[in-house]
Amino acid sequence: MNTCAVARPVVLADLLFPKASREDVQERLLARAERLEIIVGAKKDRWGREPVLAYDANGRLLQEIAVEQGLAYFWPRLLSNNLSSRMLNLEALARAKQLGVWRNTKIIHWRDKKLAGLAGEWVVLKGRVVSIGKTRSTIYLNFGGNWSEDLTATFKKSVMKEFEDAFGSLDALKGKNVEVRGVLQFKGGPWLQLAHPSELRVLPAVLKD
């Protein structure tokens, strides 16, 4: 990843903090930063802040510390696949220990009745990919046979190569049990728009449809 030094205002890239403590936790983390690196080509957020990687005095990435301690959710958008993989491994440890944000956050199946009340919220959902759909501009991961009722996760064809680099043939995802993360919307049925391969994770466990 190409990076360069940057001055504030900044935001820690690819982290999602709980709404109640978002600014407080992020500012505490940034106060520990000895080095900030802007991610070249990344757009500023709605408040004009530059997404950055931040490192403490020991050279440790603060994003990793935040995820490892359960201070924030990992929402991969900008980080490399290799770094995202490390972040997901740290997240798995925090989830297993129910640290921080994971004390009260449950990974639910997309058929869970609670889903209807989560519109507009960032979620992590699990389920089985039933089929793959493709149009000129979009790839569809279908979790059921009826788009008006069942979960669909989509991503643009412009990032298809990144997904193929991560998963191989997209058709091989059919029948796989996966986790997907993002902001839940409803377009008929529940829908997630993916932008980064690490927003999709293949699970080893067997799930019911």
Q: Which residues of 81-108 are buried (b: 16+ CB within 10 A; e: fewer)?
A: eebbbebeebbeebbeeebbbbeebeeb
Tokens of 81: 């696949």
Distance CA 153, CA 163 (A): 13
The percent of residues in the chain predicted with pLDDT above 70, rounded, is 94
Environment class of 76 (CB within 10 Å of its CB; exposed 0-12, middle 13-18, buried 19+): buried
The predicted structure's pLDDT at residue 2: 45
> pTM of the entire structure?
0.88
How many helices (H) and strands (E) in the chain? Answer: 4, 15
Please list the pLDDT of the chain residue by residue as tens digits (209 residues).
Answer: 444 444 568 999 999 998 877 789 999 999 999 999 989 889 989 889 999 999 999 999 999 999 999 999 999 999 999 999 999 999 999 999 999 999 988 899 999 999 999 999 999 999 999 999 999 999 999 999 998 899 999 999 999 999 999 999 999 999 999 999 999 999 889 999 999 999 999 998 665 55
N-to-C CA span, the chain: 38
